[in-house]
Amino acid sequence: MQNGGFDVIVIGGGPGGYTAAAKASALGGKAAVVERSALGGTCLNLGCIPTKTLLKSTEVLESVKKAKDFGVDISEVKVSPEKILNRKQGIIKRLNTGVEFLMKSHNITVFRGEGKVTGVDEVTVTTPSEQIVLKTRNIIIATGSRPAAIPGLEPDGHWIMNSDQALMLTSIPEKLLIIGGGAIGVEFASIYRKLGAQVTLVEAMDRILPFADREVSDALKQLMAREKIVVLTESKVAGIQKSAEGLLVNVETPKGLKEIQTDKVLVAVGRRPEYEGLGLPEIGVTVEKGKIAVNSKMETNIPGIYAIGDVTGGILLAHVASAEGTVAAVNAMGGQKHMNYKVVPSCIYTSPELASVGLSEEQAVSRGLKIVIGKSQFTGSGKALAMGENKGLVKIVAEAVSGKILGVHILGAQATSLISEAALAINLGAAVNDIADTIHAHPSLPETLLEAAEEAVKLIDREKNDPISKL
């Protein structure tokens, strides 16, 4: 069966894919999306949304446990994994419906099946009952990623899990060992620990979240230790033995071999671009180092074929995929738009949350920049104290002379919301005095940004020997 006449066909219905299709339609194009499973991709179905839903359940649990501190007596606290799971699935279903409505409202045709690029202007969709050949002027590949595996530690759905399987919790293991101290690993460590599991986190690097500002990631590690999460850095799993009691895991640490008894192992070592079976080698699309090569316009080496999101192996974040989808769609419809990665917030939904944007202190120093560091602690925030969430800090990295904000790093309550002010400031080229001179509501958590900015301004003024700083 042949179906033709599309301006843009997007393979993959995740945040990047459906955003690209909607943008192409808004620009007057006839667009289609090919999706083999549920719309919304990994983010909606197996990533961002379900993990944050589980994290909210654990936050409620923590609040209930601490209720007496707020003058509220609660006699019994029980966790129902089944109800938590049902709530998660309900939210996913509701958002799936929302994406479907978005497609309908933009007159985007959705084809359910496996998509394959069978020509520079052709996509073949395979369904259980037929093959449909679609003709198009442009193709956008948005097939996302899959959980990375470790040879010899492949998920079996029982003893060893990947991040997808860890979301389908029907019971809480007494003991859980997590391999990988990146965003996925630390978020699951937070989730399962608050649900009652004894958690051990194993990371090969010398610290967790190696992409984050070191001071902030070290502070998070300390807070995790207070929650009795065992974090083993510079360590690797050397072997696993099954026994009647569960699993015996041998971990190579800087202090020697350590044997750890656990019920389950979660492999959380990141994700890998998923492009196999798309027919890319046959049409000559360049794949380098396990990812589809693109330029700043999200173009592959083949005219009219674009790639966006995780499949390009860049920054594996849903909001980045959406931005790339917009760029690809504009260019597919005849525009000239380039992707700008200068301001990309990174959010880690632990407890407390960690969020960053711009340069870390280490990155700024490595570039030879003369900087100042402005800090404030959540312990000094009236709002944080009232909330019972007074752990963490705000750190601003700024140029020493101009005060231009280079990076902001927040560990604390609602950090993933607070980071938006910082992202806007960097995008506008603002200096620390711009934040310091802006009236912030009191009492509020954004005051922590204000105080960090004021600290940075003082340091800059002292270097200039400005008499105002002495007042």
Active centre residues (catalytic)? 442
Two tokens at 140?
């956008």
180 is in an annotated binding site: yes
97 is in an annotated binding site: no
Amino acid at 48: C
For the chain, the maximum distance between any two Cα atoms, rounded to a whole number of angstroms, is 79
186 is in an annotated binding site: yes
145 is in an annotated binding site: yes
Q: Using CB atoms within 10 Å of the CB of residue 205, give its burial: 0 to 12 exposed, 13 to 18 middle, 19+ buried.
A: middle
16 is in an annotated binding site: no
Whose tokens are 């599309």? That residue is: 6
Q: Can you tell me the distance from the alpha carbon of 197 to that of 16, in angstroms, rounded to the nearest whole number?
A: 35
Whose tokens are 């989730």? That residue is: 191
CA distances from 273 to 146, 286, 287, 293 (A): 7, 14, 11, 11
Two tokens at 216?
């902030």
13 is in an annotated binding site: no
388 is in an annotated binding site: no
DSSP state of 431: B
115 is in an annotated binding site: yes
218 is in an annotated binding site: no
Distance separating the N- and C-terminal Cα atoms of the chain? 79
With beta carbons less than 8 A apart as the criterion, state whether 44 and 14 touch: yes
Q: How much of the chain is in helix, strand and coil states, percent to nearest 5?
A: 35, 30, 35
With beta carbons less than 8 A apart as the criterion, state whether 118 and 124 touch: yes
420 is in an annotated binding site: no
Q: Which residue, 460, 464, 354, is CA-closest to 409?
A: 354
182 is in an annotated binding site: yes
277 is in an annotated binding site: no
Q: Can you tell me the distance from the alpha carbon of 345 to that of 347, in angstroms, rounded to the nearest whole number?
A: 6
Q: Can you tell me the distance from the alpha carbon of 295 to that of 311, in angstroms, rounded to the nearest whole number?
A: 13
Q: Using CB atoms within 10 Å of the CB of residue 386, give its burial: 0 to 12 exposed, 13 to 18 middle, 19+ buried.
A: exposed
Q: Known binding site: residues?
A: 52, 115, 143-145, 180-187, 203, 270, 310
Q: Known binding site for NAD(+): residues?
A: 180-187, 203, 270
Q: Known binding site for FAD: residues?
A: 52, 115, 143-145, 310
